[in-house]
């Protein structure tokens, strides 16, 4: 099965038990109780089922966790984009095709390959789209350990990878978890977070996280957090970029994750000029598409508000001063005020 997974483009596959342990359930409950999930009500909707795969999919005995590297090899260096105030930074995972589609298709093919070998079996594929504690499942299967930024870390591959799961009722042999984690006393991810969203080791307050603010949040971005977002218009990679283990990160060999539409090296003003038709045409099939044009403009307005005051930046903002969307107008007005424009 592991060989078949590699043949399908996965970089690793490990098998874990369906019992994720009491610690996972307790940690989830505490995180939800603190309100750290923000508007992500779906995180609470299934309650303890997230930590109990056999309750989510009755009959589940094992969880096959799969890893696929996503960092595109030809992308402009992230540090260079972040340092250019007029450029738009898009999280590296979103530069290519929507990973949900890529991984789900491959996991389904893996399940069908298993079925062709042994006959019908109960299974269900997951890719960040259902109540699954994917990092916990992957850690228990030995794919890596949970870093202090809450992402899965691998000594050999860092953290620039996607995770997917195949729940199965097959009594497969279980891979042991790693004997220890390897973050030690390092706090680089905590220290570098632009909004200080990592409120404690292994605990993220999503309400402050740039990824949440630019992707999950549907309404206005809290004004006090806008200046801290900088030019990050879709997601944030800072905690990964600073992590020492990512010196071992491996670029993706998957063509679907190659950069599309030049999003690794494009100005905020240029993207702000896209109308809705251009947005839909150019970003169809990407992860960005799901936030919609309105929130995309909201994010870009914040980025332009944090950009250097140049004629191009001010002109871009002025062009949408009277935008049809109240959400966009609010963020444009804030951005123009930042540039001394009333």
Catalytic residue set? 128
How far apart are alpha carbons 63 and 139 in whole angstroms?
A: 11
Q: Hey, what's the torsion of the CAs at 125, 131, 132, 136, to 10 degrees?
A: 170
- Cβ–Cβ under 8 Å, residues 68 and 11: yes
Q: Hey, what's the torsion of the CAs at 257, 289, 227, 92, to 10 degrees?
A: 0
Tell me the CA end-to-end span of the chain in Å, nearest whole number.
62
Q: Which two tokens stand for residue 74?
A: 């030809």
How far apart are alpha carbons 269 and 87 in whole angstroms?
A: 8
Residue 98's CB is within 10 A of a number of other CB atoms, namely 20
Residue-wise DSSP of 153-185: EBTTTBT-EEEEEEEE-S-PPPPPPPSS---TT
- Cβ–Cβ under 8 Å, residues 155 and 122: no
Q: Which two tokens stand for residue 216?
A: 């999950």
CA–centroid distance for 262 within its chain: 20
């Amino acid at each position: 099965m592991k060989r078949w997974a590699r043949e399908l483009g996965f970089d690793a596959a490990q098998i874990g038990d369906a019992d994720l342990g009491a610690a996972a359930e307790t940690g989830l409950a505490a995180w939800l109780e603190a309100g750290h999930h923000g508007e992500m009500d779906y995180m609470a909707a299934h309650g303890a089922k997230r930590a109990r795969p056999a309750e989510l999919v009755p009959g589940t005995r094992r969880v096959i966790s799969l890893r696929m590297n996503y960092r595109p090899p030809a992308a402009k260096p992230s540090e260079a984009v972040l340092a250019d105030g007029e450029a738009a930074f898009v999280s590296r995972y979103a530069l290519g095709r929507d990973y949900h589609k890529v991984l789900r298709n491959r996991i389904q093919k893996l399940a069908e390959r298993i079925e062709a070998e042994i006959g019908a079996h109960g299974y269900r594929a997951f890719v960040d789209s259902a109540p699954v504690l994917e990092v916990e499942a992957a850690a228990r299967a030995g794919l890596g350990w949970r870093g202090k930024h809450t992402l899965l870390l691998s000594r050999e591959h860092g953290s620039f990878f996607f995770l997917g799961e195949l729940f199965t009722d097959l009594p497969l042999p279980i891979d042991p978890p790693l004997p220890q984690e390897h973050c030690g006393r390092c706090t680089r991810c905590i220290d570098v977070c632009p909004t200080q969203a990592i409120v404690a080791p292994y605990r993220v307050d999503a309400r402050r996280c740039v990824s949440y603010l630019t992707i999950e949040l549907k309404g206005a971005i809290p004004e006090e957090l806008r200046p801290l977002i900088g030019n990050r218009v879709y997601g944030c990679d800072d905690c990964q970029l600073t992590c020492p283990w990512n010196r071992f990160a491996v670029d993706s060999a998957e063509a679907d994750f190659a950069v599309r539409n030049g999003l690794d090296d494009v100005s905020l003003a240029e993207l702000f000029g896209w109308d809705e038709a251009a947005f839909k045409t150019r970003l169809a099939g990407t992860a960005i598409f799901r936030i919609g044009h309105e929130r995309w403009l909201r994010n870009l307005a914040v980025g332009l508000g944090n950009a250097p005051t140049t004629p191009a930046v001010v002109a871009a903002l002025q062009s949408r001063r009277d935008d049809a969307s109240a959400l966009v107008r609010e963020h444009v007005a804030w951005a123009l005020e930042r540039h001394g424009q009333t």
